[in-house]
Amino acid sequence: MEQILAVSNLVKKFGGLVAVSNIDMTVNKGEIVGLIGANGAGKTTIFNMISGSFHPTSGKILLEGKEVQNLPAHKMCNLGIGRTYQIVQPFADLSVLENTMVGALVRDADVNRARTKSKEILKFLGMEKRMHVLGRDLNLPELKRMEVARALATQPKILLLDEVMAGLNPSDSAMVIELVRKINESGVTIILIEHVMKAVMSLSDRLYVLNQGKLISSGLPEEVSKDPEVIKSYLGEKSRKNPPQKQEE
């Protein structure tokens, strides 16, 4: 399988806090890779480094074999890293279409082509009927989908999805799961941070599990979910905090 992304010995310190500690990770072209772990484990910090928002304290990030760890976010976006954010921040006074065009214009400065491309993407995501609605008037599931639309409009090779299912009810989560599959089938490699276990287990080809900045397990979802270390530090804690009857999944 062809490797598209590799991080090696990745470290990020914030003052005295080691948020990410010597992480090695690889992602193959066409895969869906899940990144899981308790709050504060370092998942978003890894996304921030892969997308160029933060530079690592040390370590390497290789995109298609080239070192990119020192490039700024706009360069990473140009090279094909798209991302969504945990906290969705739409342009409230712009329509869904215009918000999506903000992404498309990164790739192509021609406004008409950006509009056409954005319409295509909104259709692909089943949002064409909401195209002219303002960002401020969207509900949470729609906001999440618009966030995905904006990221997809940058035409990423790798899409980083940061908790796109958080706060959604089971039927909206199921819809997002289907969309993630559809995006992946269209040729986009995906890295997914997700606390909704049912979603991450069913979507991911492979998983990486973090705890307090360290990688504690990786492998196929069925292997990782049986790993005693993972159960102890994450899944056990999750089931204590979220007894089954209350789980959003």
Binding footprint of ligand ATP on the chain (CB under 6 A): 14, 17, 19, 37, 39-45
- Choice between 17 and 109, CB closer to ligand ATP: 17
- Nearest distance in Å: CB 43, ligand ATP: 3
Cβ 25 to ligand ATP shortest distance, Å? 14
CA distance 249 to 12: 32
In angstroms, the first-to-last Cα distance of the chain is: 32
Nearer of residues 40 and 170 to ligand ATP, judged by Cβ: 40
Alpha carbon distance 92, 75 (integer Å): 26
Kindly list the distances between the CA atom of residue 119 and the CA atoms of 20, 108, 116, 122, in Å, as whole numbers in the listed order. 38, 14, 5, 5
Side by side, the strands of the sheet bearing 66-67 are 17-28, 3-14, 58-63, 66-67
Beta strands in the chain (DSSP E): 3-14, 17-28, 32-37, 58-63, 66-67, 81-83, 158-162, 189-193, 206-211, 214-219
CB of residue 239 vs ligand ATP: minimum separation in angstroms? 17
**Least separation in angstroms between CB 209 and ligand ATP:** 11
Gap between the Cα atoms of 129 and 122, Å rounded: 9
- Residue 99 Cβ vs ligand ATP, minimum distance, rounded to whole Å: 23
**Nearest to ligand ATP of 35, 121 (CB atom):** 35
> Which is nearer to ligand ATP, 131 or 166 (by Cβ)?
166
> Toward ligand ATP, which CB reaches closer, 20 or 151?
20
